[in-house]
Amino acid sequence: MEGKLVRLRGYERSDLEAIMKWINDEEVTQFLGGEILALPQSSIAEMKFIESAAERPALAADRSLVIETVADRKYLGGVAFHGINWHNRAAGVGIVIGDKSYWGRGYGSDAMRVLMRLGFDKLNLHRLWLHVYEFNQRAIASYERCGFKREGVLRKERFHKGAYYDTIVMGILVDEYRAMNP
């Protein structure tokens, strides 16, 4: 699926080199939730991730996709649905733009809008939600532009650089999405 700036596609083995350029960059991974990324990642582990993502069934509970530019098919990062609950039609979402030269230029917002379109229009989901750390103000602003609303706070949940920070829970319902995208 394409947006104005990016398209989402499945992972390929050829994505490994681009992933390895950012996966051990703390400036990028500080915004991701997994403690596993606190440790250096090997190309072997990343290839296993790529293969696992590529082999998952289309309607699996977790689905990861690549973000690439429309203009020149350059790998930028990834998006994912986490813990899709098919009964309640809800899923967590996540995004990372690994190439820092594309930060603050609208690529992340465009990728999130494409992911939302996929979730609401193709997968018939009713609600998307995410967690974002309070120190990631650029992401919070992007999510709000995409229509996500603050739903709650997990107080002092994230330990980062010697201090504890809040995790903000944000969500969007299909009706809110449709109102913004008639």
User: Does any domain span residue 170?
Assistant: no
pLDDT of residue 109: 96
Q: How far apart are CA 142 and CA 153, in angstroms?
A: 18
Counting Cα atoms < 13 Å in the Cβ hemisphere of 96 gives 22
The set of residues, in sequence order, having a beta carbon less than 8 Å from that of 146 and lying 6+ positions away, is 109, 112, 113, 116, 172
For 68-98, how does the pLDDT look when each residue is reduced to its tens digit (9 = 90+)? 999 999 999 999 999 999 999 999 999 999 9
Question: Domain range spanning residue 79?
Answer: 6-128
pTM: 0.92
User: Does any domain span residue 174?
Assistant: no
User: Does any domain span residue 164?
Assistant: no
Looking up residue 119, the CATH number of its domain turns out to be 3.40.630.30
Given a cut of 70, whether residue 136 has pLDDT beyond it is yes
For 56-73, how does the pLDDT look when each residue is reduced to its tens digit (9 = 90+)? 877 788 999 999 999 999
User: Does any domain span residue 88?
Assistant: yes
Burial of 119 (0-12, 13-18, 19+ CB in 10 A): buried
